[in-house]
Amino acid sequence: MTQRLRQTKEETPQGLEDADIDTSEELSEIGPEPVEILEASPRSEEEAQEFETMLQLGQNPRLSQIILDGNLIIRYVSPAAIELFSEYYRIQQKPFFNVFRQPLGTAELRILIMSLKSPDRGYSWSGTLQHKNPTLRTLLTRTVINPFFSANRTILGYIVHFENVTHKYNSRLRTTFSSILEAAKLKDNDTGQHNERVSFYSKRIAERLYEKQLFPQIDPDFIDNIEFLSMMHDVGKIGTPDYILQKPGKLSDLEWDIMREHTINGTFILSSYPNPMAKEIALSHHEWWNGGGYPFKLEGEMIPLSARIVTVADVYDALRMKRTYKREFTHEEALERIMAAGGTQFDPTIVRVFSEIHGDFADIWDRLKDTDAAPPLNADIDMSDVTD
Ligand SMILES: [Fe+2]
Ligand SMILES: [Fe+2]
């Protein structure tokens, strides 16, 4: 199927006019000699014919592919590429970098343009592009741009291939970190499905905050990330000595100090994770809204939002769990305690949202509760005030 692009006034979708960028101006800011690559091409009738031939031959509707002319104007887009980008861009006959401007910073764009001009780099470029849409998860594409030539070895145009690597990238990254989590669980093996429940609760709060548009930083990527990364909140316990994790009685002050270090250790373990949310949650999930938490006694909005969400989830679950020094709390009791701690331990906005969806917390607990787990021993949350 041929998807030749035509550009007529009527076909230009509404709303895109504003986004138009004058290419010559835009590119002149980027490379030292941008005109070179924008040299009108094809330059002769013969080359024009060669380009048209290549435009036909190069099309592969099943690949996510775009063909550019020598001026980097989009001249063909495959059905697969239209589908891939349908929610991210309206692709039409425009300069490629007008349409795909957003995933590239100025520095990256400069490198890309230089590569397309450079014989040493085969007039080619490859890299990973992130395509964002505020209402969708970020799309990642492995992107390769290769030239095609005339009989006289002048560049007639370029073929751009996109491979959707979103799932591959995320699952590879998460598999590695899930293994670390499994290792941590082996040490702190009395937590049952605590991490999974915290993940469900945290996601639910984030979804509700997103629905209510309460925090601009919450988008589908945030929700997806908190779902995974909240599970890692206690990964730093891999560095906590067994005699503390498994001590049957209360911890001494010194032992508490060591227990608190799991927040710092967690950030070391997650230091190579590319999203800062991983470290934010590990480091700050025991901070209190009023500055009474640990490790740094951060206060209010100094505590990252992701950690403010996870702490409500974590404490709710800890309240519901049976421990050697406390019985299992009912949902109503846990609800009451969390509501009472809005503005002291917890962000009051998050507590308000929790109060609207608390029934989902009860459902998650019922669905994933640990039936035959031995009562957990020492927790990282000081529950000395909940011994009834
Ligand atoms: Fe913790
Ligand atoms: Fe926890």
Q: Name the nearest CA neighbour of 293 among 202, 164, 381, 197.
A: 381
Place of tokens 């590319």: 274
CATH of the domain at 290: 1.10.3210.10
CA of 333 to the centre of ligand 1 (A): 21
Q: If you measure from the C-alpha of residue 251 to the centroid of ligand 2, how many angstroms do you get, rounded to a whole number?
A: 17
- Residue 277 belongs to some domain of the structure: yes
Q: Is residue 243 part of a domain?
A: yes
Q: pLDDT value at position 106?
A: 84
Q: Is residue 385 part of a domain?
A: no
Q: Are residues 213 and 283 in the same domain?
A: yes
> Ligand 1 centroid to 110 CA: how many Å?
44
Helix (H, G, I), strand (E, B) or coil at 154: coil
149 and 193 share one domain: no
Lowest mean pLDDT among 50-59, 212-221, 339-348: 50-59
Say what the pLDDT of residue 376 is: 53
Q: Does one domain contain both 88 and 237?
A: no
Among 129, 147, 164, the domain boundary falls at 164
| CA 22 to centroid of ligand 1, rounded, Å | 52
Measured in angstroms, how far is the CA atom of residue 80 from the centroid of ligand 2? 44
CATH code: domain of residue 151:
3.30.450.20
E strand or H helix that includes residue 307: helix 305-320
Assess whether 152 and 196 both reside in one domain: no
Peptide bond into 42 cis (omega under 30): yes
Distance (angstroms) between ligand 1 centre and the Cα of 260 equals 8
344 and 247 in a common domain: yes
129 in a structural domain: yes
Residue 168 CA, ligand 2 centroid: distance in Å:
29
Rounded to the nearest angstrom, the distance between the alpha carbon of 281 and the centre of ligand 1 is: 9
pLDDT range class, residue 19, cuts 50, 70, 90: very low
Distance between Cα 69 and ligand 1 center (Å): 56
Give a yes or no: residue 379 inside a domain. Answer: no
Between the CA of residue 125 and those of 23, 82, 161, 211, 240, what are the distances in Å? 19, 21, 11, 40, 47
The two counts, helices (H) then strands (E), for the chain are 16, 5
* Distance, CA of 111 to CA of 116 (rounded, Å): 9
Per-residue pLDDT for 383 more than 70?
no
Token pair of 95 as six digits: 């300069």
Which ligand is the nearest neighbour of the Cα of 380?
1
Residue type at 152? Answer: N
What is residue 373's predicted lDDT score, i.e. its pLDDT? 53
The contacts found for 138-146 with CB under 8 angstroms, 24 or more apart, are 138/166, 138/221, 139/84, 139/85, 139/88, 139/164, 139/166, 140/164, 140/165, 140/166, 140/169, 141/64, 141/84, 141/165, 145/112, 145/116, 146/122
Q: Which ligand is nearest to the CA of 316?
A: 2
Q: In this predicted model, what pLDDT tens digit does every residue of 286-301 receive, in sequence order?
A: 999 999 999 999 999 9
User: Ligand 2 centroid to 105 CA: how many Å?
Assistant: 38
Q: How confident is the model at residue 192 (pLDDT cuts 50, 70, 90)?
A: confident
Would 11 be classed as within a structural domain? no
What b/e string do you get for 199-236 counting C-beta neighbours within 10 Å, with b at 16 or more? Answer: bbbbbbbbbbbbeeeebeebbbbbbebbbbbbbbbbbb
Ligand 1 centre from 33 Cα, in Å? 55
Ligand nearest to the CA of 197: 2
250 compared with 231, residue with greater pLDDT: 231
Q: Where among 164, 182, 217 does a domain terminate?
A: 164
Which pLDDT value is given to residue 285? 98
d(CA 47, CA 345) in angstroms, rounded, equals: 71
Best mean pLDDT range from 29-33, 106-110, 217-221: 217-221
**Position 310 in a domain:** yes
Those residues with Cβ within 8 angstroms of residue 40's Cβ, 6 or more apart along the chain or in another chain: 70, 71
Same domain, 159 and 212: no
Q: What confidence score (pLDDT) does residue 248 get? A: 80
351 and 216 both lie in a single domain:
yes
* Domain count across the chain: 2
221 with 313, same domain: the answer is yes
The 10s digit of each residue's pLDDT in 34-83 is: 333 444 455 788 888 999 998 998 888 889 999 999 999 999 999 999 99
Q: Verify that 157 and 191 share a domain, yes or no.
A: no
pLDDT score at 374: 53
Distance, CA 212 to ligand 1 centroid (Å)? 28
- Residue type for position 12: T
- Local structure of 300: helix, strand or coil: helix
> First-to-last CA distance in the chain?
72
Whole domain around residue 44: which residue ranges? 23-164
CA–centroid distance, 204 to ligand 2, in Å, is 17
Mean pLDDT of all residues in 240-259: 91
The reply to whether 159 and 304 lie within a common domain is no
pLDDT at 168: 95
DSSP summary character for residue 236: G
Question: Which of 103, 131, 164 delimits the end of a domain?
Answer: 164
Pick the most confident of 41-45, 110-114, 277-281, 378-382: 277-281
Quote the pLDDT of residue 29. 36
Q: How far is the CA of 211 from the centre of ligand 2 (A)?
A: 26
Q: How far is the CA of 379 from the centre of ligand 1 (A)?
A: 8
Average pLDDT over every residue of 199-204:
98
Give me ligand 2 centre to Cα 195, in Å: 7
Q: Which of 10-19, 85-94, 195-204, 239-248 has the lowest mean pLDDT?
A: 10-19
Taking 60 as the threshold, does the pLDDT of residue 162 lie above it? yes
Is 384 within the bounds of a domain?
no
| Higher pLDDT, residue 128 or 37 | 128
What is the model's pLDDT at position 11? 35
Rounded distance from Cα 148 to ligand 1 centre (Å) = 56
What pLDDT, in 10s, does the model give residues 362-377? 999 999 998 765 555 5
Worst-scoring range by mean pLDDT, 13-22, 99-108, 143-152, 189-198? Answer: 13-22
Confidence band, pLDDT 50/70/90 cuts, at residue 31: very low
Least confident span in 183-192, 263-272, 285-294: 183-192
**Residue 301 CA to ligand 1 centre (angstroms):** 19
Q: Are residues 193 and 310 in the same domain?
A: yes
Q: Is the pLDDT of residue 246 over 90?
A: no
Check whether residue 268 and residue 308 sit in a common domain. Answer: yes
Going from the Cα of 137 to the center of ligand 2, the distance in angstroms, rounded, reads 27
What distances in angstroms separate CA 215 from CA 141, 307, 309, 320, 344, one per listed residue? 28, 14, 12, 28, 20
What is the whole-number distance in angstroms between the Cα of residue 263 and the centre of ligand 1? Answer: 6
